[in-house]
Copies of this chain bind each other. A is one copy, B any other.
C-alpha cells in the first residue's frame, strides 16, 4: 500500500543528513534511512540511485544551504566578526558527521571530485566574508593562497573543537576568533 508523501525527496535528505552526521557514512544503512524517513527501502532508490549518490546529494544540499545562510553577511555594511564566527560554529556543528567524511581520503575518485568542489564552495564563501571584513576594517590581507589555508583551518577547527570540548561552546568560539584574526 503506497503512501502518498509530498516532498519525499527532502524528507529523505533530512533523515539521511541527520544519520550521516551522527554516525558517518559506513555506519548508516539504507534500511535505517528508510525507517527514519518512514518509507520502504525500495522507495529510496526511486529518489537516489544508490547510497553514494544519496550521501553526495546530502552534502551538496548542505553546502548550498550554507551559501544561502552566509551570503547575507556579504550584503551587510558592518560585519561583527564574533557574531559571524558564532553563527558559523553553530551551523557547522549541526552537520558534524557529514563533514567527517568530507575530510577523509577514502572516497573513490568519482565522488572525490564532487566533494572537493563542494568543499571549495564553502571555503570560498567564508573567505569572501572574511576578506570583506578586513577590507572594511582597513586591515592588511594575506595572499589568496594563505587565506585559503587559514579559512580551511578555521572551518576544520570548528568541527574539531566542538567534538572534543562539546560543553565549552563559548571558549571554543573565543579560540576560533583568535584564529580568525590570524587571517
Kindly report how many copies of this chain are found in the complex they form together. Answer: 4
Q: Are A22 and B175 in contact (CB under 8 A)?
A: no
A121 an interface residue at 8 Å Cβ cutoff? no
Q: Which of A73-81, A129-137, A145-153 is found at the contact surface with chain B?
A: A145-153
Tell whether A164 pairs with B103 under 8 Å between CB atoms, given A171-B149, A179-B182: yes
A36 to chain B, nearest CB (A): 14
Q: Which of A79-106 contact B (CB under 8 A)?
A: 97, 100, 103-106
The bracket for how many chain A residues form the interface is 20 to 34
A178 to chain B, nearest CB (A): 5
Which residues from B are CB-within-8-Å of A13? none
| Contact for A26 among B27, B97, B179, CB less than 8 A | B27
Q: In the complex the two chains form, what is the Cα distance from A22 to B103 in whole Å?
A: 11
A118 an interface residue at 8 Å Cβ cutoff? no
Q: Are B153 and A160 in contact (CB under 8 A)?
A: yes
Which residues from B are CB-within-8-Å of A179? 153, 179, 182
Q: Are B105 and A163 in contact (CB under 8 A)?
A: yes
Which residues from B are CB-within-8-Å of A157? 153, 156-157
Chain B, residue nearest A123 (CB): B164
Q: In the complex the two chains form, what is the Cα distance from A171 to B72 in whole Å?
A: 32
Q: Which of A149-183 contact B (CB under 8 A)?
A: 149-150, 152-153, 156-157, 160-161, 163-165, 168, 171-172, 175, 178-179, 182
A14 an interface residue at 8 Å Cβ cutoff? no
Q: In the complex the two chains form, what is the Cα distance from A168 to B6 in whole Å?
A: 48
A23 an interface residue at 8 Å Cβ cutoff? yes
Give 9 A-B contacts (CB < 8 Å), ordered by A residue. A23-B105, A24-B24, A25-B26, A97-B104, A103-B160, A104-B163, A149-B172, A150-B175, A160-B160
